[in-house]
Structure 1
Amino acid sequence: MGLDPGLRRLALGTLLAAYPGPVPPDWAVDLVGEGLAGHTLFGTNVHDPAQVAASTATLRAARSDVLIAIDEEGGDVTRLAHATGSPYPGNAALGAIGDVALTRRVHEAIGAELATLGITVNLAPTVDVNSADDNPVIGTRSFGADPVKVAAHAAAAVAGLQAAGVAACAKHFPGHGATVADSHYELPTVDVPVDVLRERDLPPFAAVVAAGVRAVMTAHIRVPVLTGDGPATFSRAVLVDLLRGEYGFTGTIVTDALEMKGAAVAAGGVGPAAVRALAAGADLLCIGAQVDAELVEQVAAEIVTALGDGRLDRARVEEAAGRAADLAAWTRAAGSVEAAPTDLGYAAARRAVRVEGVLTGLDRPLVVQLHSTSTIAEGRVPWGLGPHLAEAEELRVVAAETDPATLRGLAGDRPIVLVGRHLHRLPGAADLVTALAAQHPVAVVEMGWPAQWRPVGVRAFVTTYGASHANGRAAAEALGLAG
Structure 2
Amino acid sequence: MRGAIATAAAAALLLGAAAGCGGGEDAAAPRATGTGTGTGTAPAADAPVTRTVAAPPDRPTLRQVVGQHMVFAYSGLTPPLALRQRIACGEAAGVILFARNIRSAAQVKATVAKLQAIKRPAGLDAPLLVMVDHEGGSVRRLPGPPAKGASQTPSPAAARAYGRAAGALLRGAGVNVDLAPVVDVGRADSALANEGRVYDDDAPNVIAKAGAFAQGLRAAGVAPVLKHFPGFGAASVNTDDAVARIDLPLATLRAVDLKPYERIEAPAVMLSTAIYPRVDPRPAAFSRRWATTELRDRLKFGGVTITDDLQAAAVVRYGSPAQLAYFATKAGVDLPLFAKDYATGARAAAGLEKAVEQGALKRADLQSGAARVLAWRADLQQPGR
Normalising by structure 1, what TM-score? 0.64
The answer to whether the aligner puts 1:245 opposite 2:297 as a matched pair is yes
One-letter code aligned to 1:316: D
Q: 1:230 aligns with which of 282, 285, 293?
A: 282
The residue number in structure 1 matching 2:134 is 72
Q: 2:330 aligns with which of 276, 279, 294?
A: 279
The answer to whether the aligner puts 1:151 opposite 2:212 as a matched pair is no
In the alignment, the residues of structure 1 paired with residue 358 and residue 242 of structure 2 have an alpha-carbon distance, to the nearest angstrom, of 29
User: 1:335, CA displacement in angstroms?
Assistant: 4.8
Contact 1:15–1:284 (CA under 8 A) maintained in structure 2: yes
The residue number in structure 2 matching 1:481 is none
The answer to whether the aligner puts 1:220 opposite 2:295 as a matched pair is no
Normalising by structure 2, what TM-score? 0.80
Q: Deviations over 1:16-42 (max 9, x none)?
A: 111111222322222212220111010
The answer to whether the aligner puts 1:301 opposite 2:356 as a matched pair is no
The residue number in structure 2 matching 1:52 is 108
Q: 1:322 aligns with which of 371, 374, 385?
A: 371
One-letter code aligned to 1:230: R
One-letter code aligned to 1:191: D
Contact 2:65–2:366 (CA under 8 A) maintained in structure 1: yes
List aligned pairs for 1:422-433, cutoff 5 A: none
Q: Deviations over 1:422-453 (max 9, x none)?
A: xxxxxxxxxxxxxxxxxxxxxxxxxxxxxxxx
The number of aligned residues is 323
User: 1:304, CA displacement in angstroms?
Assistant: 1.0
Question: Closer, same or farther in 2 for the Cα pair 1:79/1:242, shift >3 Å?
Answer: same
> What do you get for the CA RMSD once the two structures are aligned?
1.9
User: 1:264, CA displacement in angstroms?
Assistant: 2.4
The residue number in structure 1 matching 2:148 is 89
The answer to whether the aligner puts 1:291 opposite 2:291 as a matched pair is no
The answer to whether the aligner puts 1:121 opposite 2:177 as a matched pair is yes
Contact 1:218–1:233 (CA under 8 A) maintained in structure 2: yes
In the alignment, the residues of structure 1 paired with residue 384 and residue 189 of structure 2 have an alpha-carbon distance, to the nearest angstrom, of 39
Question: Closer, same or farther in 2 for the Cα pair 1:214/1:51, shift >3 Å?
Answer: same
Structure 2's unaligned 5+ residue stretches are 1-25, 30-54, 56-60, 121-125
- Larger gyration radius, structure 1 or structure 2: 1
Identity among equivalent pairs (%) = 33
In the alignment, the residues of structure 2 paired with residue 309 and residue 225 of structure 1 have an alpha-carbon distance, to the nearest angstrom, of 33
Structure 1's unaligned 5+ residue stretches are 337-483
In the alignment, the residues of structure 1 paired with residue 140 and residue 360 of structure 2 have an alpha-carbon distance, to the nearest angstrom, of 37
List aligned pairs for 1:21-60, cutoff 5 A: 21-34=76-89, 35-60=91-116
In the alignment, the residues of structure 1 paired with residue 159 and residue 375 of structure 2 have an alpha-carbon distance, to the nearest angstrom, of 27
User: 1:317, CA displacement in angstroms?
Assistant: 0.8
Question: Closer, same or farther in 2 for the Cα pair 1:257/1:69, shift >3 Å?
Answer: same
In the alignment, the residues of structure 1 paired with residue 311 and residue 87 of structure 2 have an alpha-carbon distance, to the nearest angstrom, of 21
In the alignment, the residues of structure 2 paired with residue 52 and residue 120 of structure 1 have an alpha-carbon distance, to the nearest angstrom, of 12
List aligned pairs for 1:371-410, cutoff 5 A: none
One-letter code aligned to 2:274: I
One-letter code aligned to 1:92: S
One-letter code aligned to 1:37: A
In the alignment, the residues of structure 2 paired with residue 247 and residue 155 of structure 1 have an alpha-carbon distance, to the nearest angstrom, of 17
User: 1:138, CA displacement in angstroms?
Assistant: 6.5
In the alignment, the residues of structure 2 paired with residue 124 and residue 52 of structure 1 have an alpha-carbon distance, to the nearest angstrom, of 19
List structure 1 segments (4+ residues) > 6 angstroms apart after TM superposition.
none
The answer to whether the aligner puts 1:310 opposite 2:359 as a matched pair is yes
User: 1:205, CA displacement in angstroms?
Assistant: 1.8
SS in 2 for 1:168: strand
The residue number in structure 2 matching 1:14 is 69
Contact 1:138–1:177 (CA under 8 A) maintained in structure 2: no
Q: Deviations over 1:78-103 (max 9, x none)?
A: 1102xxx8552011111xx1x21221
Question: Closer, same or farther in 2 for the Cα pair 1:138/1:325, shift >3 Å?
Answer: farther
Question: Closer, same or farther in 2 for the Cα pair 1:331/1:114, shift >3 Å?
Answer: same
User: 1:200, CA displacement in angstroms?
Assistant: 2.2
Question: Closer, same or farther in 2 for the Cα pair 1:252/1:195, shift >3 Å?
Answer: same
The answer to whether the aligner puts 1:334 opposite 2:383 as a matched pair is yes
Contact 1:11–1:317 (CA under 8 A) maintained in structure 2: yes
Contact 1:70–1:122 (CA under 8 A) maintained in structure 2: yes
